[in-house]
Amino acid sequence: MTDTIADRLASLGHVLPQPAAPVAAYVPTVEVNGLLHVSGQLPFVDGKLVTGRLGEDVSLEDGTAAAQACALMLLAQVKAALGSLDRVARVVKLGAFVNSVGTFTDQPKVANGASELMVAAFGDAGRHARSAVGVPVLPLGAAVEVDAVFAIHPA
């Protein structure tokens, strides 16, 4: 089976990582009623977790790159669950959580790292609803966490 979405990502220089194993009592994905819900994914760059807080020790550029890394991990989880990214009919929603100080207000700019990757991968079907919120801490000290909902084609 070809995977044209994965091929498109590769042509843009993106490689899907190995899907991360859950770090607590949950599963990476749940498929129900034509939707695939993907648990929050953390940013791994070159195998290392991106940690820190925006507005303190993580730059806006590094935060945006971390959100993009979260999006790649989301897609790795989707591919593991569905066998092919081509089963995605639409990106429905992303939720971006940004570890940030109280005065940092550029959470939407950080979340664009994930949003822009979805549009690059899926075109118009990658346009989605989104939340981008600042939080005081994330699991393992991660700088960003992103979860998602995808509409999927039947198997």
Reported in sequence order, the residue ranges of 1-155 that DSSP labels E, i.e. its strands, are 29-32, 35-41, 44-45, 48-49, 88-99, 129-135, 144-152
Confidence (pTM): 0.96
**How many residues are present in the chain?**
155
CATH number of this structure's domain 4-152: 3.30.1330.40
Rounded-to-integer distance, Cα 33 and Cα 31, Å: 7
Q: Residue 19: which residues within 8 A CB-CB, separation 6 or more?
A: 28, 73, 76, 77, 79, 80
Query: Domain limits of the chain?
Result: 4-152
- Per-residue pLDDT tens, the chain, 155 aa: give them: 467 999 999 999 999 999 999 989 999 999 999 999 999 999 999 999 999 999 999 999 999 999 999 999 999 999 999 999 999 999 999 999 999 999 999 999 999 999 999 999 999 999 999 999 999 999 999 999 999 999 999 98
DSSP for residue 47: T
Rounded-to-integer distance, Cα 42 and Cα 100, Å: 15
